[in-house]
Amino acid sequence: NIINSLFLQPDELEASVDARYERYETIKKNIHEAEIYKCEDADLVITAFGTTARVAKSAVNQAREKGIKAGLFRPKTLWPFPVEEINEACKNAKKVLSVEMSKGQMVDDIRLALNCRIPVEFFGRNGGNIPTPAEILDEIVKISERGL
């Protein structure tokens, strides 16, 4: 394991950077996982990871009961971000809602992965607060009422 990258000679530093870059490229090709839930016909795809994803899945089911075509995209790996998988999940989506226990750190990853072709909205709680299914459902309904 490399603890630091203090190479004083430019050629040594360049070789070190090149070796790490090759390793990162291998990881990007081989390690990316996600769960796609009810996204086949979804107009609105909810993205969430970790604890929030389980809560969001309940909200997706409740939205479906109300006639809103919602689905869930849950990345299992955040780096590298599962670009192919989110594009598959969102192929029919009109909007994406990122639900997080943060201030929206994943929103830019989603926008980049989707090449900004679908609007991405954000709903989050922070400070250790977990969004409830009711809160997420309220956001889903608001987005649906504004038009998908």
Structural domain contains residue 70: yes
Q: Which of 61, 37, 44 is nearest to 133 (CA)?
A: 61
Looking at residue 7, its pLDDT comes to 79
Name the residue range of residue 92's domain.
34-146
Structural domain contains residue 8: no
Looking at residue 6, its pLDDT comes to 79
Over residues 45-50, the mean pLDDT reads 98
Structural domain contains residue 12: no
pTM here? 0.88
- Which residue(s) pair with 98 in the sheet? 47, 122
Structural domain contains residue 43: yes
Structural domain contains residue 63: yes
Looking at residue 8, its pLDDT comes to 79
**Total domains, the chain:** 1
What is the spatial distance between Cα 30 and Cα 34, in angstroms, rounded to a whole number?
13
Structural domain contains residue 46: yes
